Amino acid sequence: MQWSLYFEMMKKFRDGAPLGDVATMKFAAFGDTPEHVREQMEALAGYAPPLRTDALLAMSPGTLGREYGEFLKRNKLEHLAVSDDVKERFKDNPYAIRYTLTHDLHHVITGFDTGIAGELGVAAFSAGQGVGIVSERVFRRLMPLYSVLLIGHGTEIRHNFRVGLEMGREASLVIGEKLEDWLDVPLSEVRARLGITDVRRAEIKKSKPSRFAKWLYKAFGQELPMPDAA
């Protein structure tokens, strides 16, 4: 853990820095690039094309770009972008930048919604790929805490945790692909390329509304996206 970077990130967050910058710094503070993906990530150094929701919505129905645009609009989100300063600062750490920029694309590709159980499903997917902030071991230790803080959501959380792990293990490395080059490809084909099956996606449970999650988002000055399966 790089505490100096973490505290710098918190200050920038309080000062209103772009969320993409804050997220990149937060992720970089938590650890280095895993050795097993280092070479693949180095090939993505400097790759961070900007995306606009209106341009995504103009793409053909069924494509990754169109589905992503509809996901962003539906959940009142914007594609996370990083400033030129942050791109330059982390040019030797494409892992942090790609993890940040592809988070919402992970939701679209895997099918996990934006509720609590969906977010934890995506996090478990990343853990299954060996690239998440939180490892599978840590996740399992946190399960009792989730059960206390998120009463009534335990069944969905535990289920999506298992599905996310298995899906992540089966799929090829999502953050290692130039997903923004695939925006005009049908989403079904993108999933096939990555090894994400409809059978596995059908196992996902939808999130329930959560008062705790709503409070947590509000504490960070954000609106909680509606649980909405991609």
Q: What digits encode the pLDDT tens for the residues 209-226?
A: 766 666 655 554 444 444
- In order of 3, 110, 116, 124, the CA distances from 106 in angstroms are 27, 6, 15, 11
Asked if residue 228 belongs to a domain, the reply is: no
Structure tokens belonging to residue 127:
């853990």
What are the tens digits of pLDDT across the range 126-170?
999 999 888 888 878 887 787 777 777 888 989 999 999 999 999
Total count of domains within the chain:
1
Find the Cα–Cα–Cα–Cα dihedral 190, 134, 212, 16, rounded to 10°.
Answer: -80
Owning domain of residue 197: 20-219
Asked if residue 5 belongs to a domain, the reply is: no
pLDDT band at 229 (very low <50, low <70, confident <90, very high): very low
Asked if residue 7 belongs to a domain, the reply is: no
What b-and-e string marks burial along 33-54, b requiring 16 or more CB atoms within 10 Å of the CB?
Answer: beeebeebbeebbebbeebebe
Asked if residue 229 belongs to a domain, the reply is: no
User: Model pTM greater than 0.85?
Assistant: yes
Structure tokens belonging to residue 91:
């040019």
Asked if residue 141 belongs to a domain, the reply is: yes
Asked if residue 1 belongs to a domain, the reply is: no
Asked if residue 143 belongs to a domain, the reply is: yes
Asked if residue 225 belongs to a domain, the reply is: no
Could you tell me which residues are beta bridge partners of residue 186?
Answer: 63
